[in-house]
Chains A and B, each alone.
Chain A
Amino acid sequence: MPPSSRIELPQGTLDLLILRTIRLDPQHGWAISQRIQQISDDVLQVQQGSLYPALHRLERRGWIRSSWDVSDNNRRAKYYQLTAAGRKQLEKETDTWRRLVTAVGQILETA
């Protein structure tokens, strides 16, 4: 995939994507970055390094929780999982995002 067709993430959406990615089961940082890229068919470009400050910010806000565990390749890795507050936040942000997309979409369709 040539880099030109990749889209820079809009401000603030990274948090939403992280929360969504670890919605079902705990993931480590690398896995999160891979998932985001794979699921978006490599359209979204996440600067891998920027993932970690975002993770720590979310942890400070109490939306995710981290713990050390053994990874699939038998190495120690830090896993992140959603907290109850994070689940609520995810719902809220998802809803906000959908409304935004719908609204923007409507304007683009009709105006």
Chain B
Amino acid sequence: MFSDLLFRLRAIFRRTKMESDLDEELRFHLEREVARYMGDGLSRVEAERRARLEFGGVEQLKEESRDSRGVTSFDNAFRDLCYSVRVLRRSPGFTAVAILSLALGIGANTAIFQLLDAIRLRMLPVRAPQELTKIYITDMSGVRGSVNRDNSVTYPIWEQIRGRQRAFSGMFAWSDGMLNLSPTGEVRMAQSLWVSGGFFPALGIRPVLGRLFTPADDYRGCGVPGAVISYSFWQSEYGGGAAAIGRKLSLNGRSAEIIGVTPPGFTGLEVGRAFQVAVPVCSVDALWFKALDSGTFWWLTVMGRLKPGWSLERAAAQLNAISASVFQASLPPGYPAVSVPKYLNMQLTALPAGTGVSELRDRYSDPLWMLLAIAGLVLLIACANLANLMLARASGRDREIAVRLAIGASRRRVLAQLMTESLVIATAGAGLALFISCRLSNALLALLGSAYLDLSVDWRVFAFACSLAILTCLLFGLAPALRATTSSPGSVLKSSGRGITTGRETFGIRGLLVVTQIALSLVLLIGALLFAGTLRNLLHAQTGFRQDGILIANLGFARPDASQVRVLSFQRGLLTRIRAVHGVVSVADTSVIPISGNAWSNRAWMDGVDSTGARDVLFSRISPDYFRTLETPLLEGRDFNDRDTPASQKVAIVNEAFARRVANITNPVGQRIRVEATPSTPEMVYEIVGVAANTKYRTLRDNFEPVFYLPLSQDTNPSLGDQLLIRSNPPPSELVASVRRAIAEADPNARFSFQEYKDLVDESLLPERLMATLSSAFGVLAALLSAIGIYGVISYLVARRRNEIGIRMALGANRREIVFMILRETGRVLMTGLAVGTLLSLVAASFAGTMFFGLKPYDAVTLFSAAALLALVAMAAAYLPARRAAGLDPMAALRDE
């Protein structure tokens, strides 16, 4: 096989040498033959004649010989390539438009695919990532307490799994979080990893400097045994110097020594987030709170590396088998009685984890696939345009092709040559597209916010762009090429385009292409309008509060020993100080900021009713003035005040939804509500003192859910972190300096950070904003491309019917009738396109239904306005050539032929 290839290659590159060798070889043969005949007594002339006769046609033989050397196909391909480049260079305008539109189309697709690849498909840069497995609980309904990460377990459960499993050779648990690097003052958060001792060894990560954690570092009561830093943190903080080892970091106020640096490229197991500092899981007790003994704090992701010979199914079966004993042994004391059976029934299973885990993936996978589909449609429309262009070129070259066919070129050769042209365009387009997509994907990443992603071009991205190039080449090149080579050369040469009218056949393909374009454009425009409408609806959604003009201050205090009374009085003092800051209208403290994505829920029911009537409600702890600060009206009763103390009657405020659905009356003030026991609090009874208007709780998309507000002043276990909402007259950003001063006066060791409420809400809408922006851009692009397509086809139509139009005018048709005639043709194509597009978009929208908000997928207004917009654009595009047709001088048109 190899010698064959070598021979062919030599044949191509040493072509002249091979040819002259062949000449010489044949000449030698003929001379010997002539000599032989002359030896037999023939004359020289006669001998030469006989020799030639015996030998056969020399040129034909040479050709055969070339064939058998295997050059012909290469040779032809190379010639086609040169010819194509020459032809394309002769029409630079066409070439530029074709390549550029393909580059944009393929580039947009590739950029979105690059993001998908990075978020969804890429394997982690660790040893044998395909062996990595994550251990999940199949049904989390028995989980009570605080869930910090999706699909996580508590430390006691992790200890049990580690002790009982047999399927994994290296098993580890990890969690991500934030650690404050700043000892005092303004908070400086570092992305951090909590890792068990087996983490680095199991992943096969080796340090570039110092050492990494081993199981020996990870034991109960380890304190803060040190910190491992990431390569990029090492570069930015310590300039990549060896002296970094042994330096001290301040982590949440505790000192930790740097012991090692991880290699570049390893950013943790969470895609979209790059860690800076890693500490052992056991140091959580010293750095954060007593999480190791907590059976209700769900924060660790458990992963392992399959032992050789163990399949995923077998591992899952083994985990399933140990589930009962794992949960029996880890059942926390005081777990709420209703949830105990569910807890004991939880099952463990194993899933592949070679691509890591990612919240980003959950959040953006659907939008990105959707965008890829949209970009794909735009590419299709662009291809339709190109196909139209190629068709126009092909009919301009009818005669050239007919001549070539007539003088004996095989159809396959002509087809190959035409396809080579398409391939040259597609390849150039794809090359440019890769260049464009790298820039575009970075811009897209910026739209996603602060995520960290590795966007380098890997083989998948490259293969994607290449296959798009081939696909588009076939799409826009094949039909015109086939059509150009099917017409019989004789008829083409005879007719030479002198017919009075042309057959419908040529308009057939073009009409079909334009119908496709219009249909797809309609789908994209409807999509764009729906996504833009969704964003608009969400931005103007009735949240029940006004987020503008509010500054959020996140506070942390370093006084773990403070008593309940002291914390409460400190909080009161702090609020008073901030309220006194110039420009502040009101200030409130809360445990859950609405729309931040955080949630706290429990079950509640009317006192005196059986607890089977209990239902899940949302909770929040708030200070007085909370509703005033958010500008949420208090409908009944009173706000919390300073007389609500730990000693007084336990009180609560509910929202309307709670009043209607849990209490079943419009004014439940004075009613008593029971709240189920939690791992940290017993069952409690609260008296409702007020009813507030409904507000959105977790996200803007949520409906109004029942919310139960409790006063911070009656919190038996007050937290040391606060989230202050500060409403001011001047813009929030101008307030930061004076609020910072006020906090420092209240507690010089306090740590704090600021954010505008509006920014927080905006951030929660990033996926929607991404969809709205990009789908609108694509929608406009699609409409524009279709307009160009329609313009091209109608222009072509008018040019082909010059004669007919000339005759009609000569027979008395006026200009307006001609314009109408052309527009009527356009209208027919347009209507077909719109009908098909409407059907398509109804199907497409039903798939994307959950991504819309406040709009039905079959929203009539949206459909109508998209269709109207498209019709307008299409008619405008057709009007130009129609007017040109009407402006024809009939005499000139008729004489012209």
Which A residues contact B (CB, under 8 angstroms)? 28-30, 33, 47-50, 52-54, 56-57, 59-62, 71, 73, 75-78
Contact = CB atoms under 8 A, between A and B. Distances in A.
A2 B22 CA distance: 32
Given A30-B33, A50-B64, A78-B28, 19 more contacts: A28-B25, A29-B29, A47-B56, A49-B55, A52-B65, A53-B65, A56-B68, A59-B7, A60-B7, A60-B8, A60-B69, A60-B70, A71-B28, A73-B35, A75-B28, A76-B24, A76-B28, A78-B21, A78-B25
B324 to A, nearest CB: 67
Contact of A30 (B24, B32, B64): B32
B58 interface: yes
Contacts of A57: 68
Contact of B4 (A48, A54, A61): A61
A71 B28 CA distance: 10
30 contacts: A29-B29, A30-B28, A33-B29, A48-B29, A48-B55, A48-B56, A49-B55, A49-B58, A50-B56, A50-B61, A52-B29, A53-B64, A53-B68, A59-B7, A60-B4, A60-B8, A60-B69, A60-B70, A61-B3, A61-B4, A62-B3, A71-B28, A73-B32, A73-B35, A75-B28, A75-B31, A76-B28, A77-B25, A78-B25, A78-B28
Contacts of A75: 28, 31
A69 to B, nearest CB: 12
Contacts of B58: 49
Nearest to A68: B21
A60 B74 CA distance: 15
B68 A48 contact: no
Contacts of A54: 68
Contacts of B57: 49
Contacts of B54: 48
B58 to A, nearest CB: 7
Contacts of A59: 7
Given A48-B33, A52-B61, A77-B28, A60 B56 contact: no
Nearest to A51: B29
Interface of B: 3-4, 7-8, 21-22, 24-26, 28-29, 31-33, 35, 54-58, 60-61, 64-65, 67-70
Contacts of B32: 30, 73
Contacts of A73: 32, 35
Nearest to A76: B24
A31 to B, nearest CB: 8
A56 B66 CA distance: 8
With most chain B CB atoms within 10 A of its CB, the pick from A29, A49, A54, A61 is: A49
A52 B26 contact: yes
A28 B8 CA distance: 22
Given A57-B68, A60-B7, A52 B56 contact: no
Contacts of A50: 56, 61, 64
A35 B795 CA distance: 71
Residue among A48, A71, A75 with the highest chain B CB neighbour number at 10 A? A48
4 closest A-B pairs by CB = A49-B56, A62-B3, A57-B68, A53-B64
A20 B65 CA distance: 21
A56 B56 contact: no
Nearest to A57: B68
A65 B22 CA distance: 15
B61 A62 contact: no
Contacts of A77: 25, 28
Contacts of A33: 29
A98 B61 CA distance: 31
A48 B28 CA distance: 13
Nearest to A61: B4
B637 to A, nearest CB: 97
B83 to A, nearest CB: 27
A71 B31 CA distance: 13
A105 B31 CA distance: 41
A56 B33 contact: no
Given A48-B54, A49-B57, A50-B56, A29 B65 contact: no
A65 to B, nearest CB: 10
A29 B61 CA distance: 14
A62 B35 CA distance: 32
A72 to B, nearest CB: 10
Contacts of B29: 29-30, 33, 48, 52
Contacts of B70: 60
A29 B25 CA distance: 8
A26 B7 CA distance: 20
A30 B21 CA distance: 15
A47 B60 CA distance: 13
A5 to B, nearest CB: 17
Contacts of A71: 28
Nearest to B58: A49
Nearest to A31: B32
Contact of B68 (A28, A49, A60): A60
A71 B110 CA distance: 63
Nearest to A59: B7
A52 B25 contact: yes
Contacts of A30: 28-29, 32-33
Given A48-B33, A61-B4, A62-B4, A56 B69 contact: yes
A63 to B, nearest CB: 10
A88 B425 CA distance: 48
Contacts of A28: 25, 28
A96 B837 CA distance: 65
A28 B26 CA distance: 11
Contacts of B55: 48-49
A29 B7 CA distance: 19
B858 to A, nearest CB: 65
B64 to A, nearest CB: 4
Nearest to A50: B56
Contacts of B3: 60-62
Contacts of B8: 60
Contacts of A47: 56
A1 to B, nearest CB: 13
Nearest to B29: A30
A56 B4 contact: no
A56 B26 CA distance: 13
A34 to B, nearest CB: 8
Given A30-B33, A49-B55, A49-B58, A56 B28 contact: no
Contacts of A49: 55-58, 60-61
B28 A53 contact: no
A50 B57 CA distance: 10
Nearest to A71: B28
Contacts of B35: 73
B674 to A, nearest CB: 91
Nearest to B22: A52
A40 to B, nearest CB: 16
A91 to B, nearest CB: 19
A93 to B, nearest CB: 18
A33 B55 CA distance: 11
B65 A56 contact: yes
A73 B7 CA distance: 30
A46 B4 CA distance: 26
Contacts of A60: 3-4, 7-8, 68-70
A7 to B, nearest CB: 16
A39 to B, nearest CB: 16
Nearest to B57: A49
Contacts of B33: 30, 48
A90 B55 CA distance: 26
Contacts of B61: 49-50, 52-53
A9 to B, nearest CB: 14
Contacts of B31: 75
A57 B65 CA distance: 8
B4 to A, nearest CB: 6
A49 B63 CA distance: 12
A18 B301 CA distance: 73
B484 to A, nearest CB: 34
A103 B10 CA distance: 42
